[in-house]
Amino acid sequence: MSTDISGRVALVTGASSGLGERFARVLAGDGARIAIAARRLDRLEALAAELRAAGAEVLPVALDVTSVAAIRAVAVEIEQRMGPIEILVNNAGISRQARIDIIEEDDYDAVLDTNLKGPFFMAQAAAKQMIAHKIAGRIVNIASIAGQRAIGQLSTYGMSKAGMIQMTHQMAREWSRYGINTNAICPGYISTEISAEYITTEAGAKWVASLPRKRMGEPRDLDSVLRLLCAGEAARFLNGAIISADDGFTSL
């Protein structure tokens, strides 16, 4: 069965850094016509220039996923300039680390709006295009192992990702009749620019040593599962799947 996505229109949110940037590189390298979205347009433009130099068709768009109006406008822009969205990688997200008893309302709202409300309406906008154009689309929600088990001082983040997991199940159930497959990846601890400094400290090294194989993952460790979930026929029976890519962390 084919995993070819050449020529398909893919949107990756939160593509200005970290996992989103990696996902954009992978899909563009596999031949997708790709829209990349994030708040930091300057970083998107730099990434787009690099991907274009390698032969990819890329559309960078500024997007704050906490604005439903902005989400809908970006979806329309992509459809007008590239065609309807066929693959969505719902990756945009933030975290606020704090004990439950001291979390402020602004931080609570920022995390839930970015990590759950935004992806919900982004998926809705993409699915409407898929349904209207009779596209057997693929939606990949980037959740987290924090949505599957309690992790200290990550309550709002974990709640948002648990909500995304349930959202994935619900979308899979409702949109399967249209040929749309909705799945989620739950990454474990992945080394990105956000964590790079911490893991070089004594406390960070001690924490890494507590992981099952005493290592963090790298963004490239998610390439294979991303490719599978974005595929056509090769992924036709994967719908509503919640895939942990965590090197055994949730088995502890």
Q: Between the CA atoms of 143, 140, 20 and 78, what dihedral angle is there, to the nearest 10 degrees?
A: -140
Helix (H) or strand (E) holding 186: strand 181-187
- The strands making up 181-187's β-sheet, listed across from edge to edge, are 58-62, 33-38, 9-13, 87-90, 138-142, 181-187, 242-245
Specify the residue for token string 């942990």: 244
Q: Is 157 a catalytic residue?
A: yes
Q: Which residues contact 36 (CB under 8 A, 6 or more apart)?
A: 11, 12, 15, 16, 20, 24, 44, 47, 48, 58, 59, 60, 61
φ, ψ (nearest 5 deg) of residue 217? -80, 170
Q: Which of 157, 178, 189, 198 is catalytic?
A: 157
Nearest to 168 by CA among 181, 151, 155: 181
- Asked if residue 43 lies in contact with residue 65, where contact means CB atoms within 8 angstroms, the answer is no
The 10 Å Cβ neighbour count of residue 250 is 13
**Residue among 62, 39, 65 at smallest CA distance from 121:** 65
Spell out a b/e string for 30-55, using b for 16 or more CB atoms within 10 Å of the CB, else e.
Answer: bbbbbbbbbbebebbeebbeebeeee
Inter-axis angle of helices 18-29 and 223-230, to 10 degrees? Answer: 60
| Catalytic residue annotation | 157
